[in-house]
Structure 1
Amino acid sequence: MLPLFGDEKRRKINLGGSSSVSTLSAITDQAKARRIERTEQKRKNDAAIRIQSWWRAVSAVRAAKADMRKAFENDIEGLIGLRCMVLIGMDQEVLGKWSQTIVAKGEGSLFAPAVEPHQSSWRVLIRQIFLLLLRSIAVSPKSPDAVAHLKIMNMLVSVDVMTRNLGPHGRDVATDILVYALKRGFYPLLSEAIRSIPTTEAKSSTSLPLLVPLSTVAFSAFTAANDAYAEFPCWTGFKHLHNTLAAQPSAATEPDPAVLPPSPRILPLAGFLPKQHLDSRQDSSRCKSHGLHTPRDTLLFDSLPPHAFEESAVRAQAAAKAASADADSDDESRPKVSVVSSFAAAVSPVALPTLDARTLKRLSTLVTATHITSLLTATQKHPDATRRALFCMFLALEGVWPGNADTILGAIVVGGGGTSVIKELWRGSVRRANATSILREFKTGPVAEPDAPIPALLFLADLYAHALRTMGDDEFFGTSGSASAPRNPMSLDELTVFSRLLLDVAFGLYQAQVDADGDTNMSGTMGPSGVRYTWEEVREKVTKCLVAIHARDSRRSFTPPDHWLVSSQIDLRSFVEAALFEEQQISSGNARAVTTRQIARLAPRLGILHNIPFSIPFSTRVQVFRSFIFADIMARRPVDDQYEHHRTRITVRREHIAQDGFDRLADVDLKGRIGITFIDKWGEEEAGIDGGGVFKEFFTSLCKEVFDTDRGLWLANKKNELFPNPHAYAVEAHNLNWYRFIGRIIGKAMYEGILVDIAFAGFFLAKWLGKQSFLDDLASLDPELYNGLIFLKHYPGKPRGPVSELHRRHFGVTKSVDLVPHGSEIAVTKENRLQYIYMVSHYRLSKQIKQQSDAFFEGLSEIIDHKWLKMFNQQELQILIGGTDSPVDLDDLQGNTQYGGIFDSNHATIISFWRVVRSFDQEQRRALLRFVTSCSRPPLLGFKELVPNFAIRDAGSDELRLPTSSTCVNLLKLPRYQSEKVLRAKLLQAITANAGFDLS
């Protein structure tokens, strides 16, 4: 080889002699310089050799490719041409020429080389060419050859085309091509191609109609029979495709959001969804014949934001309501709003465009009862995996179209075999789940298994909570007595297990907020066949169903003792201390503006007390309630010592207690101390100083008047439980002011710990808690209407008549009330009967008394913070107002009794008194309690909480006198009876005849 840079390696000899003697340092430097010079020379020579080698290789490749191009052009459609294409690689000209030729000559030319003995070779080559075509499109999606490339690719993965040309094994060949491409970036390359098409050019694009089928072809090529979903990475790729489209709307510059076309996540949706999904005329047989791709549809819906299918105005309204109201508030629109609506406000206008009318009309088919019923019918005999995927799709559809969640669930409950679906979800997936594994999955990330229990748990919770709305107690408990009557789809034993699972999951999610101090890393993504719900949304769904089941158990217990408690999982003392601290922190700001959802996030212990209060013992919650009130009292107390002497004083006429109380307390702060002076019938002030007892007397008398049903403000059901009168005159301004006043008075009683011997109807107490009442509550209000609705629900024939006519027949009035716009023109059918039953119940239980209830609660909230009440359910709230229905504990009463006069615990009369009282039955003991305290029920936490304490005072030695009492101070005035027999007779006479009430 000739040197390129001269023979610089030859040794140089200096013959001229040395002009001077070099030092040792100079010699060393020269040697180092020569060594560096030799190294650099070697590097240059090596580089030259590599360049020469590369050039020879390039020249050889060019020559070989030139030869291959000639061979390719001589046999474009043959096997030699295919081999040449693979060896040439990414050459746009060669790929374009081949595609154009194949498309021009038809699909026969594509499969001509696929004959024996060359079929195996063709199969190997064609899958590599498929990938080359895909890469070409990803690089140049607008090239003139792109459409030809896409047409061939669609042929190669079409099961019909492959089977038609290759016979029975055509499906296997198509599957093999897809598997090869999926493992080499099929979906990422596809997403590049789709994303490169600007939104503004989507309708005119010739490539997009061919790209969309490619994105979903895997779901027709792969079948559940060969377990392709688990074996091949199509789900991961498909999810990547939609996540990519969701992340970047378009490569083009986005126009003004006000005129923005449908989001790219929605744009191809009509193409992604099978035809039977969007054709309302399709019946179940057509659905079955076309095949179902519910796992794919689940991911499609999952990739969209909440409310994506709803019109802008409806979406904005729902988001505003969700941002400003509690999740369980008694809002007229509440049945139409799903839990995910709270997150709609966080989505930008660009992410939530207004859909055009045509797209929205086609998509609305998805939530029709006919369509949902057809899907359920078509999949009845499909494998379990298909059914689970279908349920996941429904759950995803709830999230993307929450305004139609009730329609979806109602269609399943009524026409889709709701009983069998609930059983299928429970026995097929949820029953074997456990809370520990579910919570672990949230903490560790997405679930990979197609049969993961979380989606099934969520959908079962949604479905069963919806079914409970119109399920009467006879159906729930199976007590109808008729063999043909429908039964609860879950047995009481199953509900016991299910409710405990829900409780453990809900508490675990609330506790996670506690452990993370307000922040968690829990993921809400449920995996390939799951649904994207955040852990906070999951918590709300689980809590909603849990509370509904607990409400039934509260009325008639079917669970074992301590079933609802989590006391073993927490330290109650530290929990209470933390809850009190959180309440102080919340109250330091604008407490009225904090919703239940925000409390759960900002104050997790209060979140537990407000959302699943039954997980904490009732006595503990009562202590917390009283602690909240005490903290409020202390915060209001002035710094000086004038508090004990400061009280608002009013005068009240004995003959007009209610009216005077209404007039004189209208502008008084009832949280403060109130001094009452009675005016007798002669207009004179009664003697005495109000140390608290006189106010109790005033309060007791006031309650007797205002809650008297003859006054017209209140009605009583058959259990003598009170609720506001729904009559039209009750909503007049003056009467609403009375409801507001009564609410303040009840609030004052709760604030002071005064028990009121009044029982309120459960559905009315639900209003205090911001909850809705459903069919099961109607039995306590209107048994006749309840029985009529139950008959309608189970009526085997076809219901007749418009909504308003049935309403008139039930209420027995001549006035017709439309429950929906033009309700008199809408017939009650099998499909909408549950909706009708729900609306009638809602009208009677809520709408008719809404204004009265709102006024009452407005007054109550002036005294008692709404957040404090949410720690209790209806039954517990009644106990908080009037005491417990438990037996009178005489040991507790005797241990907390004070004595006056000459009496003490060892006096002979007192010993006889307790011996006589212990011989009383419970009714007589309650009568004694009512006689002395004006309330027949014991205090919540025992007689130590009775203020003032139960007391007995010496009333003299006249044994002809009856015992008397001063209920204002809980005092029994007992003569010194010498005979136990006489004491018993006189005491029974006094307490049963209500005689001997002493105002002194």
Structure 2
Amino acid sequence: MIPVFGDENRRKINLGGASSATSHQAILDQARAERNERQKLKRKQESAVKLQAWWRGIQEAQVARKEMRGMFDEDVTGITGLRCLVLIGQDEEIIGRWSSAVMQGGEDQFLSAFTVYQNSWLVLIRQASLLLLRSVAQSPQSPNAQLHLQVLSILLSSTTTKRVLGSTGTEICVNITQYLINHNLYDLLSQAIRSIPVEAKNSPALPLIVNLVTSPFTTFTPTSPQFTQCLCLTFVSILTILQLPNRLPIDSLPRLISRIPFANLDLLEPHIPTLVDSLSTEAKVHLAVNIHMFFSPHYQKYTGKPLATYLRLFSRLFGALPVSVFDRPEDRAAHAASTWARDDEDSDNEDGPIARVSAVMDFNSRPQEPLPQLDAKTLQRAAKIPSTAHITSLLKVTQSSPVARIALISFLLALNNVWPSHKDRVLSTVLVLAGGGLVRELYREHVRRSPIGKDENSGALMDPANASSWSPLLFLTDLYTQALLTMGDDEFFGTATNTSAPRNPFTLDELRSFSRQLLNIAFALYWRDDQTHVQEAGIAGDVQCTWELVREKITKCLLAIHARDSRRSFTPPDHWLVTSQIDVQSFVEAAVFEEQQLSKTDDILPRMLSKRQIAGMSPRLGVLNNIPFAIPFEVRVSIFRHFVMNDMMARGVTRHPMFIHQKTRVQVRRGSVAQDGFDRLTDVDLHSPIEITFIDQFGQEEAGIDGGGVFKEFFTSLCKEVFDTDRGLWLANKKNELYPNPHAYASEPHSLNWYRFIGRILGKAMYEGILVDVAFAGFFLAKWLGKQSFLDDLASLDPELYNGLIFLKHYPGNPEELSLNFTVAIDEFGVTRTIDLIPNGSSISVTRENRLHYIYLVSHYRLSKQIKLQSEAFFEGLSEIIDPKWLRMFNQQEVQVLLGGVNAPIDLDDLRQHTNYGGLYDNNEPTIVAFWKVVNTFDQEQRRALLRFVTSCSRPPLLGFKELVPNFSIRDAGSDQDRLPTSSTCVNLLKLPRYPNERKLREKLLQAIMSGAGFDLS
């Protein structure tokens, strides 16, 4: 039977029942398949209907458009033609014919149509205007674009519409303008400008486009919301165009600048956050560069609120930009590590030389926003923002406007954050021009009144209500930190004899209060169990800083103030301590535990963690590595000893004599201690015990068992050789403090290997608790720890240069009269070399504005850069033995104490309590009783001489004589009354004959210790 059409779509019904051979699941599957097939067929039918409807619509539209073209041709400038134009839509031929006809008829005839057709004409003309605008945006250089722009200029000119139509014309212009604004007027104008190549800046369309950009500012009143809207859109869409000044004709550029209502810039104030957040990184850059070029020449004209808004806009832009976005592409890679390590050629590393590796790792581990590739012209214009001339003009114009002054502070802070390579120069310029006045202004009018950091408001630190208080505080820390770099102690303490010399802007009372405020803030930010919030969250406001960056700025200033206090105290005894806020014993136990946890891995990375990384992992180690002075020195030394003991245990190191087979055995010739030590110990693990065997002049091993004493003898002899200034590795200042020789030969590979070896040996001494009777210059010790050097440090290194720089700093005339430039002359072996302190420094004169920067660069070169390689090599060797994060618990004065003991009176009771006796002696033996009576009559100089005679070091250990390794010992040396006492400094042993009375004992003992007699090998 032939099926009827459509029968194949009928559902098949089986009336015969289910086959026993067919399962229930098979029936379900078959039903599902049939249902899917029916749905598929239905979709095909629906699609076919839609396609046919679409095609019929196309055909009908073509017919209708053809009919409308005919109607348009019959009445091009009439209402019918206008209606047809709108209905036809984006047809370039029709739009071009209409624009041409309108312009031929003239603006009066064109606008007069409104009087006839009223609202119908207005509705249609708005849509026609949008068609014109879109046509211009797509092809701004087409033949018809100029005609379209001329028509738009008529419609958007309130002057023209009012002339033709009276007051109604103004309303029409407002209506059309608002319609186009709602339909992306500024975006389309921006697209048109961007579509015209830079080299085609003389395009006739550009002047007309500029007119359209600014015409709404004459259409709307400044009090209207539309005026503010247009101002925002101008900034977002027009002033973000790449190389905008180069794209416009010469005569159009001043017209654009003069017509942008900068006088009403304060209207942007509440919209700045939204405006900035809506822009891409590249758009933010171009906006900053363009508005600086347009606005900066007119600072004097727009003071007060407009200038304050301009500065706040910049602050917000800079806060939203990635760091170093304005640096040249070739400089970005070099600056990447210094962004986190702060160790570029012109600044100190926050963690010391070894931190450079950890800083690079830290930087690479952070997700970085890709930096845009900026063109040379944009970079050139951007470079004017941090220029001395620009900063100078801003300081002048904001001087009489408090609202602009505080906005300037945020601007400068944000500028330094986003462009750290210019930070020193910007701050130095501000210090020269504003002097201590700005520092006092910031502190007394803003910071001192601020609740943040006050003892009674410790919980208000991260309160959003205090966001506005952070900018003055953070810029003050930057500014004062920079000031301290070139501030002598006489200026700091106000003791300068030169009455015209500048003074410390803080009084000492203010400085005590300010430093305590900073300490409270720093401690609160380090003492947080959850460091994620510190690293990721930050201050809300114009200047957007993470709490981590806030902490870094606060800490840097705090360290600089503390360094001054360490050199010459001006604070109360417990000023720097936070022990009232913590339990010290629990702190020590937790710090030791946290350090153990970090050290459990075999990886080298835990030893190379930066201070920032440490703070993120452990609050206690964060405090110890960043603001160690908050914890008492004795507590930190105890923690250091715990760290060493734990490290020994982890390495399986023991000093017990029964494990002597575990020692590394090294032979050293008596006459070549330094060279043999260098040759044989360079690659040895100095954490393990070292057994030293001396070889005498006959090539024979000297008798004796090294229980630690022979190594100390070797170490003492080695130090005498390697620190001898005649060897050329070290020089001494007038205080006999050592520092690396800055000459070129001292930085050669062989010399650097020696510095590295000496660092390892000193590390071994600190590891073993052996005191060294050698003093290092403070500025060199500072390099170990990554601390800043100060101008006053230069006095101990090069007094003549120091006096010259002080003269320059206080010079009342024009510094250019001195014919100085940014170079430094180095004399080596009679040959003088001139080195640029900055690129092209020989052609940059030292002026009043930049002289502080010059003083800083010269000091930094002499104190840091000249000994950079030597210091790094030395510290690299030291860090092989002593974990860098252990040393960061101390400043340079404290490290000197760790190395050589404390320069304090010798406590005889403590010494006697920790003295061992040998031979016939014990605590009650008559000679021993007489010995302590005699020594008790010694003055401190004689006591130090005794200590040096026995131990080779005149200073006692910081934590008392229990820390002296080995303990101070006295042994019976026979009954010969004419024999002088002798010593074995290698084991801290005094060999004392049994004298018959106190008078004889005193005579012989003083003779021995004051004459330097008698190291006895027996």
For normalisation by structure 2, the TM-score amounts to 0.75
Letter in 2 for 1:636: R
1:524 matched to 2:524? The reply is no
CA distance in 1, matches of 2:920, 2:212: 110
Corresponding position of 1:303: 320
Once residues 571 and 483 of structure 2 are traced to their aligned partners in structure 1, the CA distance between those partners, rounded to angstroms, is: 20
Alignment of 1:364-513 (within 5 A): 364-382=383-401, 384-414=402-432, 416-436=433-453, 443-445=462-464, 452-512=468-528
What letter corresponds to residue 651 of structure 2 in structure 1?
R
1:667 CA drift (Å)? 3.0
* TM-aligned CA distance change 1:74 to 1:828, over 3 Å: closer
Q: Retained in 2: the 8 A contact 1:785–1:811? A: no
Q: Post-superposition shift, 1:322? A: 3.8
Per-residue CA distance 1:528-557 (angstroms, 9 max, x = gap)? xx3011111111111111111111111111
SS at match of 2:832: coil
- Counterpart of 2:987 (choices 957, 969, 976) is 969
**Given the alignment, which residue of 208, 224, 230 partners 1:177?**
224
The 8 Å contact of residues 424 and 853 in structure 2, kept in 1 or not, is answered as no
Task: Tell me the residue number matched to 2:945.
Answer: 927
Instruction: Give 1:367-766 correspondences, 5 Å limit.
Output: 367-382=386-401, 384-414=402-432, 416-436=433-453, 443-445=462-464, 452-512=468-528, 515-516=529-530, 518-520=532-534, 523-527=537-541, 530-587=542-599, 588=601, 589=603, 590-637=605-652, 643-766=659-782
The superposition leaves residues 903-938 of structure 1 with CA deviations (integer Å, 9 ceiling, x where unpaired) of: 333333333322222222111111111111111001
1:312 aligns with 2:312: no
5+ residue gaps, structure 2: 1-82, 84-107, 133-150, 194-205
CA distance in 2, matches of 1:774, 1:137: 57
1:592 Cα deviation after fit: 4.6
CA distance in 1, matches of 2:486, 2:684: 44
Aligned-partner SS, 1:675:
strand
SS at match of 1:245: coil
Amino acid at match of 1:461: T
Letter in 2 for 1:221: N
Contact 2:663/2:691 (<8 A) preserved: yes
Contact 2:322 2:369 in 1 (8 A): no
Alignment partner of 1:951 is 2:969: yes
**1:837 aligned partner:** 855
Q: Using the alignment, how far apart are the partners of 1:90 and 1:542 within structure 2?
A: 62
| Contact in 1 for aligned 2:155/2:176 (Cα 8 Å) | no
- d(CA) in 1 for partners of 2:822 and 2:248? 55
Q: Measure how far apart 1:691 and its partner are.
A: 1.0
Question: 1:36 is matched with which residue?
Answer: none
| Counterpart Cα distance in 1 of 2:669 and 2:111 | 112
Aligned 8 A contact 1:454 1:526 in 2: no
1:659: Cα distance to partner?
Answer: 2.7
In structure 2, relative to structure 1, the CA distance for the partners of 1:145 and 1:781 (3 Å cut) is closer
Residue 468 of structure 1 and its aligned partner are, at CA, apart by: 1.7
Q: What whole-Å deviation, never above 9, does each CA across 1:140-166 have from its counterpart, x for those lacking one?
A: 9579999999979956656xx98xxxx
Alpha-carbon separation, structure 2, partners of 1:640 and 1:670: 13
Question: CA 1:852 to 1:343, structure 2 compared with 1: closer, same or farther past 3 Å?
Answer: closer
Paired with 2:671 and 2:191, the residues of 1 have a C-alpha distance of 99
The amino acid of 2:637's aligned partner reads V
Decide which of 799, 811, 817 is 1:795's aligned counterpart. Answer: 811
Conserved? CA contact 2:822–2:845, under 8 Å: no
Aligned mates of 1:111, 1:623 — CA distance in 2: 92
Q: From 932, 939, 949, give the equivalent of 2:957.
A: 939
Separation in 2 of the partners of 1:943 and 1:400?
Answer: 52
Q: Which moved more, 1:646-655 or 1:817-826?
A: 817-826
What is the 5 A alignment of 1:239-278? 239-246=273-280, 263-273=282-292, 275-277=294-296
Give the secondary-structure state (helix, strand or coil) at the position aligned to 1:937: coil
Is the contact made by 2:655 and 2:689 (CA closer than 8 Å) also made in structure 1? no
Query: In the TM superposition, what is the alpha-carbon distance from 1:953 to its structure 2 partner?
Result: 2.4
1:865 aligns with 2:883: yes
Distance 1:666 1:502 in 2: 44
Cα drift, residue 815 of structure 1: 0.7
Per the alignment, do residues 130 and 297 of structure 1 end up closer, same or farther by CA in structure 2, a change over 3 Å counting?
A: farther
* Aligned-pair CA distance for 1:876: 0.6
Q: Partner of 1:726: helix, strand, or coil?
A: coil
Cα separation, 2, equivalents of 1:923 and 1:968: 22
Q: How large is the RMSD of aligned CA atoms in angstroms? A: 4.6
Q: CA deviation at 1:390?
A: 0.8
Aligned mate of 1:332, from 328, 342, 345:
345
CA 786–89 in structure 1, closer or farther in 2 if over 3 Å, else same? farther
Answer whether contact 1:312 1:353 (CA < 8 A) is retained.
Answer: no
Residue matched to 2:143: none
Q: Secondary structure at the match of 2:731?
A: strand
Which ranges of structure 1 fall in alignment gaps of 5 or more residues?
1-65, 67-72, 163-172, 229-233, 250-262
Q: How does 1:147-162 map to 2 (within 5 A)?
A: 157=217
CA 973–186 in structure 1, closer or farther in 2 if over 3 Å, else same: same
Q: Which has the higher contact order (CA 8 A, sep 6+)?
A: 2
Which amino acid letter does the alignment assign opposite residue 635 of structure 1?
Answer: A
Distance 2:152 2:890 in 1: 72
Q: Does 1:885 align with 2:903?
A: yes
User: Which one-letter code corresponds to 2:614 in the other structure?
Assistant: I
Amino acid paired to 1:303? A
Partner Cα distance (1:410, 1:417) in 2: 10
Taking the aligned partners of 2:654 and 2:924, their CA distance within structure 1 comes to 44
Q: CA deviation at 1:92?
A: 5.0
TM-score (norm 1): 0.76
For residue 332 of structure 1, what is the amino acid of its counterpart? E
1:600-635 deviations in Å (ceiling 9; x for gaps): 223332222111111111112112222222122112
CA distance in structure 2 between the partners assigned to 1:813 and 1:807 by the alignment = 16
The residue aligned with 1:109 is 162
| Aligned residue identity for 1:264 | A
Q: What is aligned with 2:197?
A: none
Alignment correspondent of 2:99: none
Relative to structure 1, the CA distance from residue 908 to residue 128 in structure 2 (aligned partners, 3 Å threshold; closer, same or farther) is: farther
**Cα deviations across residues 666-720 of structure 1 (Å, max 9, x unaligned)?**
3322221111222333444332211111111121122112212223322111111
Greater mean alpha carbon deviation, residues 426-435 or residues 816-825: 816-825
Q: Retained in 2: the 8 A contact 1:954–1:976? A: yes
Tell me: CA distance 1:596–1:89, structure 2 relative to 1, closer, same or farther (3 Å).
farther
Pick closer, same or farther for the CA change 1:311–1:819 going to 2, 3 Å: closer
Q: Secondary structure at the match of 1:266?
A: helix
Does the CA-based 8 Å contact 1:413-1:463 persist in structure 2?
yes
**Which residue among 197, 216, 220 is the counterpart of 2:263?**
220
Q: For 1:677, what is the secondary structure of its paired residue?
A: strand
How far does residue 344 in structure 1 lie from its aligned partner after superposition? Answer: 8.1
- Cα drift, residue 267 of structure 1: 3.2
CA distance in 1, matches of 2:449, 2:483: 22
Q: Which stretch of the first structure deviates more once superposed, 781-790 or 568-577?
A: 568-577
For structure 1, which segment, 186-195 or 459-468, has the greater mean C-alpha deviation from structure 2 after superposition? Answer: 186-195
Following superposition, the deviation at residue 135 of structure 1 comes to: 2.9
Asked if the contact 2:691/2:711 (under 8 Å) is kept, the reply is yes
In structure 2, C-alpha distance between the alignment counterparts of 1:809 and 1:199, rounded to whole Å: 46
